[in-house]
Structure 1
Amino acid sequence: MRAIGGLWRWRHNPLRRGTDLVEAWVALVALLFILVVAPVIGSLVGGVAQDALQQSVRDQRAARHEVTATVVRELARSSLEVDPDASGARDARRRVVADWQAPDGTAHHGPVMTSLNTPHSGDHFTIWTDAHGSLVARPLDSATATTHAVLAGFGAAMLTAGLVESGRRLIVWRMVRRRYARWDQAWDRAGPDWGRTGTGS
């Protein structure tokens, strides 16, 4: 991006090459894209993601229901389960057989996960089900959806800026290669007569 300052410096410089000015203009355009276009794209992507995720939040809240389940018995712990002593209390989950009633009134019985530390028969806890009583994940909350939308917008802006900068570097790299190729050709033309007395006279 140092070439941007060269735009003013190169205007009337007799040593200025055409590629110097082009390189400076490419850098200026790339900077404008990074400062203006990338944030706009990030904002648009974030807005679209926010709308889609908030709609998903509304759909999940309408389709998923929090019901109360009753512990029948605790299931034996599997060797594959995480040791609750080795993880945070928040991550400790127990597998139990429980009974619950679906929003449509049907009774259900089966194994579920509970956050009760020491589940006993008759203990109550909440689970999430669909309208027919099948177990589903907790619905997405609005704050989490907004966080995901912000991250999506930020990621889109960063990706756009990265692509613009990569394009600038590619253009400059190709210009430098052409410049070196022209120098080689000029050197080849001057090479046979280099150092000879009277050359160029």
Structure 2
Amino acid sequence: MRAISGLWRWRDNPLRRTTDLVEAWVALAALLLILVVTPLVGSLVGGLAQDALQESVREQRTSRHVVTATVVRKPAGSPLEADPEAATGQDIRTRVVAHWTAPDGTAHQGSVITSLDTPQTGDRFRIWTDQQGRTVARPLDSATAATHAVLAGFGAALLAVGLIEGGRRLVVWRMVRRRYARWDREWDKAGPDWGRTGAGS
């Protein structure tokens, strides 16, 4: 709105300089770019992120499998640690030594994090593995992927706004610098005697 009011203010003003009018037009152009370009950028980036993330969801669903693991024993030392897949990262889980059978039929044993509160030898719980039985993170779900895509779109739109506003400020800064340089040249032409009585100015 400042751009529009700036153009209106300088429309018939006798004190208007060319740079004042250019500055108001630059502000209006930046405003229009923000209103038109940033939603397009956000939609485009969000759409591309959505496609890529949903493809990743489909790939993870086909390559990751839930298997049942059996507790063999608790490892030596502190078996408690934060669950990396928890929403806050503050949930404490127990690490145990367990064995499981991979989807390809091979037997595996290793240290894994369990969701059991007080695991005992022989307790069973579920873990995610790949086809060869290596433990992997839970696959990404569609809702989380969509949320990440929306955030990517918003981030891209905000970045576009920042770039446009930064460009506007850079143009205005350069115009102001040129204006001041012109004023300095004019003051230099007027000389040190400007304004003195009888100096001919």
Inter-CA distance 14–113: structure 2 relative to 1 (3 Å threshold): same
Measured in 2, the distance between the counterparts of 1:76 and 1:115 equals 18
| Aligned pairs (5 A) from 1:139-158 | 139-158=139-158
How far apart are residue 194 of structure 1 and its match?
2.8
1:97 aligned residue = 97
Measured in 1, the distance between the counterparts of 2:189 and 2:142 equals 71
How far apart are residue 78 of structure 1 and its match?
2.8
| Aligned pairs (5 A) from 1:110-189 | 110-189=110-189
Measured in 2, the distance between the counterparts of 1:167 and 1:22 equals 14
Inter-CA distance 70–198: structure 2 relative to 1 (3 Å threshold): closer
How far apart are residue 197 of structure 1 and its match?
2.7
1:24 aligned residue = 24
1:194 aligned residue = 195
Q: How many residues align?
A: 196
How far apart are residue 82 of structure 1 and its match?
4.2
How far apart are residue 195 of structure 1 and its match?
2.1
Inter-CA distance 128–175: structure 2 relative to 1 (3 Å threshold): same
Q: Over residues 89-117 of structure 1, what are the superposed CA-to-partner deviations in whole Å (9 max), with x where a residue is unaligned?
A: 97121111111111111121222111211
The 8 Å contact of residues 98 and 109 in structure 1, kept in 2 or not, is answered as yes
Instruction: Specify every segment of 5 or more residues in structure 2 that has no aligned partner in the other structure, as ranges.
Output: none
2:44 aligned residue = 44
Measured in 2, the distance between the counterparts of 1:97 and 1:128 equals 15
Inter-CA distance 99–29: structure 2 relative to 1 (3 Å threshold): same
Measured in 2, the distance between the counterparts of 1:140 and 1:37 equals 31
Q: Could you say what secondary structure the match of 2:122 adopts? A: coil
Measured in 1, the distance between the counterparts of 2:89 and 2:19 equals 64
Instruction: Specify every segment of 5 or more residues in structure 1 that has no aligned partner in the other structure, as ranges.
Output: none
How far apart are residue 2 of structure 1 and its match?
2.8
Task: Indicate the RMSD between aligned Cα atoms, in angstroms.
Answer: 2.2
How far apart are residue 196 of structure 1 and its match?
3.2
| Aligned pairs (5 A) from 1:66-105 | 66-78=66-78, 81-82=80-81, 91-105=91-105
State which drifts further: 96-105 or 158-167.
Answer: 96-105
Measured in 2, the distance between the counterparts of 1:117 and 1:162 equals 48
Letter paired with 1:71:
V
How far apart are residue 14 of structure 1 and its match?
1.5
The 8 Å contact of residues 77 and 95 in structure 1, kept in 2 or not, is answered as no
TM-score (norm 2): 0.90
Q: Could you say what secondary structure the match of 2:178 adopts? A: helix
The 8 Å contact of residues 68 and 100 in structure 2, kept in 1 or not, is answered as yes
The 8 Å contact of residues 7 and 21 in structure 2, kept in 1 or not, is answered as yes
